[in-house]
């Protein structure tokens, strides 16, 4: 009998299975997006529409533009196309070293503004305190157990500047939690994610759905958290 998704997260091999999966994935945009490299442009456009107003509007939710952190950065697709155009400096954290090795070449001349590339899983990573204007987490939190996700978000919160913000962009299950045995990850429902955000002491400032993705994919939501 197949184990429920919540039980799958308690397996000793939950993290190691994910590491093994990503070790065999090519260091390309298509590899980062699970064979759906064609959605990268729409994905970045949706993220820009979501994030840019926080940096350009004179309102209470405005954030600074000095430094961002790209969590689960892969080869730097988001760093290159979303974060570096908006922030002066970017740090990258990723558990697969070969992706970081490819990142400088992929990012190109703007890679000089990437200050740190950290090879570590988010379950073991602690951001520098009061350091980041935005911490961006996209398609990576599904690789954390519920408990580790709560603890990571709490640590991420301490890594924000006074006006900083955590942004989460994730696939959304229709109900409950769905386990993917191919890459050893989970897809949580909107209520499940919001429960975890609340346990981490975070408040949702903005929430929206990614538009113009192909039919048949999970719904993708973006959350701005403080």
Q: Which residues are annotated as a binding site?
A: 72, 77, 94-96, 122-123, 138
Please tell me whether residue 216 adopts helix, strand or coil conformation. coil
Residue 225 and residue 179 in contact, taking contact as beta carbons nearer than 8 Å: no
**Residue 46: DSSP 8-state:** H
How many whole angstroms separate alpha carbon 30 and alpha carbon 51? 24
- Residue positions in the annotated binding site for S-adenosyl-L-methionine? 72, 77, 94-96, 122-123, 138
How many whole angstroms separate alpha carbon 32 and alpha carbon 72? 10
Please tell me whether residue 184 adopts helix, strand or coil conformation. coil
| Cβ neighbour number for residue 150 with a 10 Å cutoff | 19
**Ramachandran angles phi, psi of 159, nearest 5°:** -85, 0
| Cβ neighbour number for residue 129 with a 10 Å cutoff | 11
Please tell me whether residue 73 adopts helix, strand or coil conformation. coil
Burial (CB < 10 A; 0-12, 13-18, 19+), residue 12, is exposed
**Ramachandran angles phi, psi of 168, nearest 5°:** -120, 130
């Amino acid at each position: 009998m197949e184990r429920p998704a919540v039980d799958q997260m308690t397996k000793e091999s939950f993290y190691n299975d994910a590491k093994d999966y990503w070790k065999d994935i090519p260091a390309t945009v298509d590899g980062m997006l699970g064979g759906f490299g064609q959605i990268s442009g729409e994905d970045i456009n949706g993220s820009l529409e979501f994030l840019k107003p926080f940096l350009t509007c004179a309102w209470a939710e405005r954030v600074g533009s000095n430094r961002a952190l790209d969590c689960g950065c892969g080869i730097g697709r988001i760093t290159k196309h979303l974060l570096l155009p908006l922030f002066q400096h970017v740090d990258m954290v990723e558990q697969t070293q070969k992706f970081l090795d490819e990142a400088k070449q992929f990012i190109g001349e703007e890679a000089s503004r990437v200050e740190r590339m950290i090879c570590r899983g988010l379950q073991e990573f602690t951001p520098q305190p009061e350091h980041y204007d935005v911490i961006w987490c996209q398609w990576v939190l599904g690789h954390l157990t519920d408990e580790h996700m709560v603890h990571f978000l709490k640590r991420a919160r301490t890594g924000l500047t006074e006006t900083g913000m955590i942004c989460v962009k994730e696939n959304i299950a229709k109900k409950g939690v769905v386990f993917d045995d191919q890459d050893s990850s989970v897809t949580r429902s909107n209520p499940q994610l919001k429960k975890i955000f609340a346990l981490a002491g975070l408040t949702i400032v903005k929430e929206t759905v990614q538009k113009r993705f192909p039919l048949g994919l999970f719904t993708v939501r973006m959350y701005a958290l403080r």
